[in-house]
Amino acid sequence: MAEFTMDLSEDQKQVRDWIHGFAADVIRPAAAEWDEREETPWPVIQEAAKVGIYSLDFYAQQFFDPTGLGIPMAMEELFWGDAGIALSIVGTGLAAIGVVANGTEEQIGTWIPQMYGTPDDVKVAAFCSSEPDAGSDVGSMRTRAVYDQAKDEWVLNGTKTWATNGGIANVHIVVAVVDPELGTKGHASFIVPPNTPGLSQGQKFKKHGIRASHTAEVVLEDVRIPGSCLLGGKEKLDERLARAHERARSGGGERVKNAAMATFEASRPAVGAMAVGTARAAYEVALDYAKTRTQFGRPIIDNQGVAFQLADMRTSIDAARLLVWRASWMAVAGKPFTSAEGSMSKLFASEVAKKVTAQAVQILGGNGFTREYPVERMHRDSAIYTIFEGTSEIQRLVIARTLSDMPIR
């Protein structure tokens, strides 16, 4: 177990600078175009694959960084470049986390490479959990998975929504209900292989921000998949369901994480790092602007009203990064989130991104309100951090329940 330190090693600095260079040279110049087009930036993803950033090996190296800082460091730099394009590059990672968190070694080795494809033929993957009537309330999930024992197949029916890469993905990871009596404990995750009949893209959403990231509904109509596509395998699922039924009969209160929550818990500090990257980008634009913009014969940063805003912006960004780094280190060190530190990092960083980008628009004034400057786009993009992978309200609920050990509603 690595000791916690805020000093990056030389290797980590080299990786950070390499990712930052890609973000500055490739992502940023393309950001405005793909935001306007509202399309998946396949050429940029392919460039990321060619240099090794969009690959299983890259994310594995960062994931297994013994300090835990590899993933948050990478996320911050990519999202410093542009949130929409960066999400198109890293969106496959959420599906991959779903497989790693719930799958067998064979499933991990078989399916994760198919999520990324090759530099000459890039692919993406989608994690499908939310539904039209089941966002924060995962207990209202209606997508069903029924086991056909005679054919050793699972049959999936339902509609998923807000799926990053939904419908265009090579591999879809779908969370579905297998035992309605158990509520959220009766959920499981399934791999839907490429070109499986019955899976189709529904509505593609036109969004306020992160427009370069494809978000759509995924419709499942009698989708049949092999029994081997149940993440973790049927024996493990049957054992888990039997324990849940026994606890229900005995009135036991042991908590059991469902498939979707296990994925989100693992990814929350990474989302916090994304928010830090967007906030930092907006702060840097505002700082440079305040130094060069002259009003009343002097740079506007000479005014306390502007300088103090910048001071608060930088302080909150650094505080958010420290919460993200703490949670990331705790996760890799095997320390439990006894105070919901993962949710804390995501909550605080998300709120910081919204506030800092709004302050950046204000410092740029009328210019900040136009698309001639990137802070307008950064402000739109930042809104997603307080919504996806658990809203700020849900993060507060998780934290409050953890601290109080009470079923706060």
Q: Report the alpha-carbon distance of residue 273 to residue 291 in Å, rounded.
A: 27
β-pair type (298-299, 144-148): unpaired
Q: What is the dihedral of CA 129, 331, 409, 176, to 10 degrees?
A: 20
> Which amino acid is located at 163 in the chain?
A
Tally Cβ neighbours within 10 Å of residue 240: 19
> d(Cα 207, Cα 409) in Å, to the nearest integer?
30
Cα 409–chain centre separation: 25
Structure tokens of 244?
A: 């849940």
Which residue from 56, 159, 174, 164 is spatially nearest to 116, judged by alpha carbons? Answer: 56
Q: How many other C-beta atoms are found inside a 10 Å radius of the C-beta of residue 34?
A: 22
Q: Helices 375-382 and 259-292: crossing angle, nearest 10°? A: 160
Give the integer Cα–Cα distance in Å for 260 and 185: 10
Rounded to an integer, what distance in angstroms lies between the CA atom of residue 46 and that of residue 313? Answer: 34
Please say if 131 is a catalytic residue.
no
Report the phi/psi class of residue 68: left, alpha or beta, with left for phi > 0 and alpha for psi in -120 to 50.
left
Q: What is the DSSP letter of 389?
A: T
Out of 38, 47, 389, 393, the active site residue is: 389
Q: What one-character DSSP code corresponds to residue 402?
A: H
Annotated catalytic sites, by residue? 389
